Amino acid sequence: MTRNTFFLDQHGCAKNQVDGELLISRLEKMGLSRVDNADDAELIIINSCGFIESAKQESLDAVLGARQAYPEAKILLAGCLAERYAENFRTELPEADGVFGNGDLSLIDGTVKDLLAGGRPVVRPPQKGVCCGDRNMLLSFKGSAYVKITEGCDNRCTFCAIPIIRGRLRSRPAADIVQEIQDLVARGVKEINLIGQDLAAYGCGTDDDVFNRNENWHGALYGGEPAPEGKKSPLKELMEQISSLEGNFWIRLLYIHPDHFNTDILSVMQKDTRFLPYFDIPFQSGDDAIIHAMNRRGSFARYSKLVQEIRNAFPDSCIRTTFLTGFPGETKEAAATTERFLKEIQSDWSGCFTYSQEEDTPAGAMKQTVSAVAAKRRADKLSRIQAEITAQRLQHRVGKTYDVLVEEIVENKAGTDEGLAIGRAWFEAPEVDGNVVIRYDLDDEKAVKAIVPGEIVKVHALAASEVDVDGEFCGD
């Protein structure tokens, strides 16, 4: 163990990753040094997830494991789990030397000073604004970065604990977001992934004034009120401001609630092809009764129509979604309807998760629970259906040439002149989708020089599996 060192054990989603990157920079400004191995750390920070039961248990296990392995280190539980159960952990988690929530991250400075001085701080910072600041180290693969544009959520889906953990919806000023993107591009970042609980809600918080002209979109999004007459959605206007930036980079929009999808953004994306036609829309279910029980306004027909509208604008578009199986009251018939919905929309990718009963959520008190066995069986069925659809849709990518962001070089076998690298094309989001396998000749000086993590190269797709595309380098 070395004094004034810290190790970050990162858990959870991309939004939590951004928080982790902010924490790293703040701690380094305090004079602490980040280490790659917990063995060397005086302070171990578990940046936790508190969304569903399995993620909560994983984060708790990380705390218990660190305490056992490093009895002399200081252990700080941070992130969503800490935010949600801070007061419980004050007495019920003695293995943690401190607890720090995910609100105002600037309070980490005093928290760590207290902890290293021998205190046991339990801090739940206020949920105000959207935390931002220096991120000197990005935890993504080289060349890619997440940019958080909103925090919290006002939709109140009945199964979701995010409003409990992250608070009310609030948005960053557009000028701040544009400046951050400009700075990241100047640092060599090629792919910007915009994130928030629901990008469609950007600028729609009750206190949001992202363009300094006092427009309140909250009622239009959540209260059934008409949108301000003749006005663009705040997300569209943000995208137009981003579009004014110069440079060769990608912009990917992640997580757009299907009830709020801003169809006016499609025209922006058509004009500026740096906005990737990749749409992450978590439908959760295809059954009307379950959709409404989730506190959503959509339906099988409405969501199918949305997908068709997107594909009319972008015939080659990529659609990712998420399904939640085993929601209270989900019958065999409802599950079958969701299977039919998946076959109808033919999404390129989807994630399937079983329902996690979360305290303090409306669904947590609902009756008609579904057994864990049935929920898993239904998730597995959806996964098999999606695997078939993905394999078919990837076949349509074969024979074309794509820009591919190189993520890593694969160690090549001795005695062979074939190089291998892993990357992603525009239809593959980081961490959750498949990859492009890049094959190249190690005797080709141009290829070896071009295929570097964080750079974009041209790759011709030769074949596709159920998940990945196999291609060969054909230029930079």
pLDDT in tens, 171-213: 999 999 999 999 999 999 999 999 999 999 999 998 888 876 6
Residue 359: the pLDDT is 87
Share above pLDDT 90 across residues of the chain, in percent, rounded to a whole number: 83
Distance CA 171, CA 208 (A): 6
Exposure on the CB side of residue 52, measured as CA atoms within 13 A: 10
Who wins on pLDDT, 416 or 235?
235
Query: What pLDDT score was predicted for residue 224?
Result: 76
- The identity of residue 473, as a single letter, is F
- Percent of the chain having pLDDT more than 70? 98
Contact 347, 319 (CB under 8 A): yes
Which three-class secondary structure state does DSSP give residue 156? coil
Q: Is the pLDDT of residue 226 over 90?
A: no
**pLDDT the model gives residue 12:** 87
- In this structure, of 7-11, 77-81, 162-166, 219-223, the range with the lowest mean pLDDT score is 219-223
Q: For residue 352, count CB atoms less than 10 angstroms from its CB and return exposed for 0-12, middle for 13-18, buried for 19 or more.
A: buried
Q: Quote the pLDDT of residue 2.
A: 73
Q: Is the pLDDT of residue 214 over 80?
A: no
Q: How far apart are CA 27 and CA 430, in angstroms?
A: 26
pLDDT of residue 411: 77
State mean pLDDT over 340-367: 94
Q: What is the pLDDT of residue 268?
A: 96
pLDDT at 296 over 80: yes
pLDDT (average), residues 333-360: 95
- Give ∠ CA 332-256-192 in degrees, rounded to 5: 135
Region 108-116 average pLDDT: 94
- Please state the rounded mean pLDDT for residues 296-312: 97
Give the model confidence (pLDDT) of 416-473 as tens digits.
788 999 999 999 999 999 999 999 999 889 999 999 999 999 999 999 999 999 999 9
Q: Quote the tokens at residue 472.
A: 């060969």
Whether 476 shows a pLDDT value over 80: the answer reads no
CA-CA distance, 175 to 182, in Å (whole number)?
11
Give me the mean pLDDT over the 25-47 stretch: 94
Phi, psi for 400 (deg, rounded to 5): -110, 160
- Confidence class of residue 272 from pLDDT cuts 50, 70 and 90? very high
CA distance 260 to 265: 12
pLDDT at 270 over 70: yes
158 φ, ψ (degrees, to nearest 5)? -65, -20
pLDDT of residue 215: 66
Task: Give residue 1's pLDDT.
Answer: 63
pTM comes to: 0.94
Average pLDDT, the chain: 93
Q: Is the pLDDT of residue 374 over 90?
A: yes
pLDDT of 52 reads 83
Instruction: Say what the pLDDT of residue 409 is.
Output: 94
Tell me, what DSSP letter sits at residue 62?
Answer: H
Does the pLDDT at position 106 exceed 80? yes
Collapsed DSSP state (helix, strand, coil) of residue 34: strand
